[in-house]
Amino acid sequence: MNYHFLYTFLPVNLNVSRIREIQFRRKGSVGIGIGTGLLLGGIIGGIIGSASDSPDPPHAFIHTNGIITALGALIGIASGSIIGGIIGSASKKIPIHGNMKTYRNKRLEMMNYSVTGN
């Protein structure tokens, strides 16, 4: 079998008996996961912080209106970006275990992924 890998456009011969598994990850998926988690975490954290913020008494020395909302948003941003990064870093693993029959059966599934780097 000849395939092109990443940006080297030279044919590569694969010895299927030496392949344990093939792993795929979409390009940029970690960054997209972090960005999505950051945005959603900030919104949800801000809403929760706003809902738990209580009005200050009129004689309060320091007014905390909005501080709890901002704190909730910051906590949501931090936790959302971490969770989004973890979810975005997930990859698809296809076990081959050196078996040519398994490799042939999984070829249609692998064709859904680009192996040329484009």
The confidence score (pLDDT) of residue 45 equals 92
Pick out the chain residues at pLDDT < 50.
2, 4, 117-118
The predicted structure's pLDDT at residue 116: 54
- Write down the pLDDT at residue 80: 94
Query: pLDDT tens across 34-59, in order?
Result: 999 999 999 999 999 888 877 767 77
- Distance, CA of 116 to CA of 82 (rounded, Å): 30
Write down the domain spans for the chain: 1-25+93-118, 31-90
Exposure on the CB side of residue 24, measured as CA atoms within 13 A: 13
Confidence at residue 25, expressed as pLDDT on a 0 to 100 scale: 77
Which pLDDT score is estimated for 55? Answer: 73
Our CA dihedral for 79, 85, 87, 89, rounded to 10 degrees, sits at -160
CA 49: distance to chain centroid? 26
